[in-house]
Amino acid sequence: MGPALRREGAPAPFSACSRAPTDQQCHSVDSNFGGRTLNSMREKSSDSHEKASVTRRTFLGTTLVTGAAFFARGSDAIFGAELSPNVAANPTWKLGGDLTVNRLGFGAMRITGEGIWGWPPDRGNALKVLKRAVELGVNLIDTADAYGPKTSELLIAEALYPYPKDLVIATKGGLTRPGRGEWVPDGRPEHLKQAVDDSLRRLRLERIDVYQLHCIDPKVPMEESLGAIKEMKDAGKIRHVGLSNVEPEEIERARKIVPIVSVQNRYNIEDRKSEKALVYCEKNGLGFLPWFPIGGTRGLKPENALNAAAKAHGVSVFQVALAWLLERSPVMLPIPGTSSLTHLEENVAAAKLQLTPEEWKAINALAS
Q: Kindly list the catalytic residues.
A: 147
State how beta strands 184-185 and 175-176 pair: antiparallel
Give, for 117, the enclosing helix (H) or strand (E): none
Q: At 238, phi and psi to the nearest 5?
A: -135, 135
* Cβ atoms 60, 349 nearer than 8 A: yes
Cα-Cα end-to-end distance for the chain: 24
d(CA 90, CA 68): 7
Looking at the chain, how many residues does it have? 368
Residue 343 DSSP symbol: H
The residue among 133, 57, 76 whose CA lies nearest residue 323 is: 57
Count of beta carbons in the 10 Å neighbourhood of residue 302: 10
* Cβ atoms 21, 11 nearer than 8 A: yes
The residue among 193, 335, 194 whose CA lies nearest residue 263 is: 335
